[in-house]
Amino acid sequence: MARILVCDPISPDAVAEMKAAGHEVAEKPGMTPEELLATVSGYDAMIVRSATKVTRPVLEKAAGTLKLVVRGGVGLDNIDAEAAREFGVKVMNTPAASSIAVAELTMAHMLACCRFLTRADRTCKEGKWEKKAFSKGIELWHSTLGLVGFGRIAREVAKRALAFEMKVIFYDPFVNDAGGMDAKKVDLDTLCRESDFISLHLPMSPETRHIISKKQFDMMKQGVVVVNCARGGTIDEPALAEALKSGKVFAAGTDVFEKEPPEDLSLVSCENLTATPHIGAGTGGATSRVGGEVSRIVIEHFKK
């Protein structure tokens, strides 16, 4: 039997599966960093999503007992993987489980940007009929989509973009070809210059921090649309706000921010920004798939 600490919400079915396998499961979502440090000792496994940060002090506090950290979702940005290796803790995630949900939200942001959906909806509910103001939308059809990063989620976005008859190009130094998909690899400068739509799909790291900043915005087409449903910090937010206000960027959609929730509202307050509060994996299907994959990983690990 393993003692498992669930730090962020997962599906009840996943909790029930782990209990049925004979494990003790403690659900303690919403802990502060201080509460986590006071709680983590004595557990064999931790389950987190994006909210809980598994830092070196947390791993040090859990050392000797903790054997596994499972991140329900894509990436390991909130886990100190180097420290985990030092303390002999295995780290795993569930990259496939939420890919569809994030890809669909990316497409939703692109469409909302194209057709002023959030602003048009709001003004209609205010009793206004501003048809003329919202009659200069743009289309996905026959436009060029540039994907910054070409992992699982980006490939799902590419499939959907191709169904809209978009041309797809991508930049990813770790991917050599599109794997049979109708997409062309280019360098980042070319992507910025040629794309009508740009969507980010990469982890947050020192190498990717502000990978899209003023220099890149200056290269872009007038009236480009930029979407980020990946990680906050990969876009320079003040540079994006400036590009939105100047009209260089027609509209932008973002599900992620450098600071969540954002304290500086200068970007969020831009009329041509569509913002969502980091809900990329927030569907019933994705939650169920993530939970199922998390419970499978935990059960398999402790069978050994």
Q: Are residues 246 and 294 in the same domain?
A: no
Average pLDDT rounded to a whole number, residues 92-114: 95
- CA-to-CA distance for 7 and 48, rounded, in angstroms? 5
For residue 45, what is the DSSP state? E
* Whole-number pLDDT of residue 76: 87
For residue 263, what is the DSSP state? S
Mean model confidence pLDDT for the chain = 96
pLDDT in tens, 183-212: 999 999 999 999 999 999 999 999 999 999
Q: Are residues 171 and 30 in the same domain?
A: no
Q: Are residues 85 and 130 in the same domain?
A: no
Q: Are residues 76 and 174 in the same domain?
A: no
- Catalytic residue of the set 130, 260, 271, 300: 260
In the chain, where do the E strands start and end? Answer: 3-6, 24-27, 45-48, 68-71, 90-93, 144-148, 167-171, 183-185, 197-200, 224-228, 249-254, 273-275
Q: Are residues 165 and 202 in the same domain?
A: yes
Average pLDDT rounded to a whole number, residues 154-163: 98
pLDDT surpassing 70 at residue 241: yes
Q: How confident is the model at residue 89 (pLDDT cuts 50, 70, 90)?
A: very high
Residue 141 in tokens: 């059809």
Strand 167-171 versus strand 183-185 pairing type: parallel
* Whole-number pLDDT of residue 54: 97
Q: Are residues 165 and 228 in the same domain?
A: yes
pLDDT in tens, 15-63: 999 999 999 999 999 999 999 999 999 999 999 998 899 999 999 999 9
Residue (of 37, 90, 38, 45) closest to 65 by Cα position: 45
- Check if 122 is active-site: no
- CA-to-CA distance for 32 and 23, rounded, in angstroms? 25
* Whole-number pLDDT of residue 191: 98
Domain boundaries, position 222: 99-275
Q: Are residues 154 and 262 in the same domain?
A: yes
Q: Are residues 171 and 124 in the same domain?
A: yes
The helix or strand, by DSSP H or E, that contains position 99, with its residue range, turns out to be: helix 99-114
pLDDT surpassing 70 at residue 304: no
Q: Are residues 151 and 264 in the same domain?
A: yes
CATH code of residue 291: 3.40.50.720
Q: Are residues 223 and 264 in the same domain?
A: yes
For residue 226, what is the DSSP state? E
- CA-to-CA distance for 111 and 19, rounded, in angstroms? 42
Q: Are residues 30 and 149 in the same domain?
A: no
The CA angle 100-276-269, to the nearest 5 degrees, is 150
pLDDT in tens, 118-148: 999 999 999 999 999 999 999 999 999 999 9
- Catalytic residue of the set 152, 278, 296, 301: 278
* Whole-number pLDDT of residue 50: 86
* Whole-number pLDDT of residue 258: 95
pLDDT surpassing 90 at residue 160: yes
Q: Are residues 39 and 148 in the same domain?
A: no
Domain count, the chain: 2
The CA angle 181-186-190, to the nearest 5 degrees, is 135
pTM attached to this predicted model: 0.89
- Catalytic residue of the set 231, 237, 258, 293: 231
